[in-house]
């Protein structure tokens, strides 16, 4: 019962955040003075849709390996979102966050893969 409630609350949280992002996207993507505003907005929505598909695979994945791959792809999508926010704004720290996220995502994927195999992290 407790696990079901936890999954239900997590799903509600993800749906609310997704609805907020879709209905009220970040203002920087809709700023009319930026060049290629429509392109950046379209890319942002494609990344959000891809994130929703990865969340579906994360929740429904029949095997732990599917879930690990979904988490890894979500990390890549977050790096894409950081790059998408960094390009039109001209702020380099978005790219720095994306690089740090990519490194952490890579390390987490390796750790999860070793855990699924049943090996220690030292070997």
Which pLDDT tens digits describe the chain residue by residue (123 residues)?
777 777 777 777 777 776 776 666 666 555 566 667 778 878 888 888 898 888 888 888 888 888 888 888 888 998 998 888 888 777 788 888 888 988 988 888 888 888 888 877 665
* pLDDT for the residue numbered 121: 64
CA angle 106, 83, 113 (to 5 degrees): 15
pLDDT score, position 68: 84
Residue pair 58/10 in contact (Cβ under 8 Å)? The answer is no
Q: How far apart are CA 68 and CA 91, in angstroms?
A: 31
The pLDDT of residue 122: 67
Q: Assess contact for 45 and 21: CB atoms under 8 A.
A: no
Q: What is the pLDDT of residue 31?
A: 59
Task: Provide the pLDDT for residue 123.
Answer: 58
Residue ranges of domains in the chain: 2-117
Other beta carbons less than 10 A from residue 76's beta carbon: 16
Q: What is the pLDDT of residue 41?
A: 79
């Amino acid at each position: 019962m407790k696990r079901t409630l936890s999954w239900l609350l997590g799903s509600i949280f993800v749906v609310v955040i997704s609805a907020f992002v879709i209905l009220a996207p970040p203002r920087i993507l809709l700023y009319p003075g930026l060049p290629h505003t429509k392109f950046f907005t379209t890319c942002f929505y494609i990344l959000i849709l891809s994130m929703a598909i990865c969340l579906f695979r994360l929740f429904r994945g029949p095997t732990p390996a599917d879930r690990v791959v979904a988490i890894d792809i979500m990390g890549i999508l977050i790096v894409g979102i950081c790059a998408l926010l960094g390009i039109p704004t001209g702020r380099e720290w978005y790219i720095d966050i994306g690089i740090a996220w990519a490194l952490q995502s890579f390390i987490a994927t390796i750790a999860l893969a070793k855990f699924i195999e049943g090996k220690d992290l030292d070997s």
